[in-house]
Amino acid sequence: MRHVEHAMGTVFSFDLRPPLGDARRAVTEAVAWLHRVDAVFSTYRAESPVSRLARGEIPLDDCPPQVAEVLELGASVAEVSEGYFSIRPRGLLDPSGLVKGWAIEQASRILARYGAVNHCLNGGGDVQCSGTPAPDRSWRVAVVHPLRPRVLATVVAGHDLAIATSGTAERGPHIMNPRTGRPALELASITLTGAGLTLIDAYATAAFAMGDAARAWVERLPGVEAFAITAAGTTWRTAGFPGSAP
């Protein structure tokens, strides 16, 4: 069963494989969740709780409990990433860099709760796979080449896999290196893999800001691997990266 949903300024692709469980209900609930998250966390909606919190109009206690949860996660990622990730990237509260990955991982859990344990959920290029697509094989996720559109740079295979890519290909330079105060330009893209998309997505943003230094950083993170394409077009990968040539 497939479903495509527009939310959060991007597109979410649902791919559910047998056994489907109560797939229709699962997708309905997961979609409703994504829109709920958008309503609470959108920085594009002036009246969202997060926008009002950022302007100091309401205290954290008046926000839905998920806001505090995300802010705590943000603080934790900021610490692990040595400040390269921040939910206040321009001084103002903006947890967008964390919300999408978190929302997708939660949506994946909703699907599993309704029995749709084998699924792949792609939100704007960040992917959470659960179970397997078929009894005899793993999920296969292609990483698109940032400098050569339509060329696949690598293919990652695995079960229960989260994969996130940060890069400039779609939206131009938009990730700042907090140490230099300038856009990060060393890498064209970096792809991180691990178990849960919440952390993997945020870590990918931090890793992109770090540039080549991300390689040593990711090697120290248990269960996380990286594949990078530099601005010059060369590539590197951490020792355990589960990818292969397409």
Partner 1 sequence: MRRAIFAVLVTAVGLVLLLSFKPHELTAVASPPSAVSHAPAPQHSAGEPPSSGRQDTAVPPANGTWTGPGATAGTTRGDKVATGDIADTRWGPVQVELVLSGGRMTGIRVLRAPDSTHRDLAISSEALPMLNDEALAAQSAQIDAVSGATYTSEGYARSLQSALDRAGL
Give the residues lining the site for partner 1 (CB under 8 A). Answer: 2, 4, 6, 9-11, 13, 15, 100, 120, 122, 124-127, 129, 133-134, 137, 139-144, 146, 149-152, 155-156, 163-171, 189, 191, 246
Rg of the chain over Cα atoms, rounded to whole angstroms, equals 18
Q: Which is nearer to partner 1, 51 or 128 (CB)?
A: 128
Q: Which is nearer to partner 1, 49 or 196 (CB)?
A: 196
Q: Which is nearer to partner 1, 135 or 181 (CB)?
A: 135
Q: Which is nearer to partner 1, 51 or 154 (CB)?
A: 154
Please give the single-letter amino acid code of residue 177. Answer: N
The arrangement of strands across the sheet holding 126-130 comes to 2-7, 10-17, 118-123, 126-130, 162-167, 187-194, 225-230, 235-237
C-alpha to C-alpha distance for 182 and 56, rounded to whole angstroms = 28
Q: Which is nearer to partner 1, 13 or 52 (CB)?
A: 13
CB of 151 to partner 1, least distance (A): 7
C-alpha to C-alpha distance for 57 and 41, rounded to whole angstroms = 15
C-alpha to C-alpha distance for 202 and 87, rounded to whole angstroms = 10
CB of 108 to partner 1, least distance (A): 13
CB of 245 to partner 1, least distance (A): 9
Among candidates 58, 7, 67, which has minimal Cα distance to 40? 67
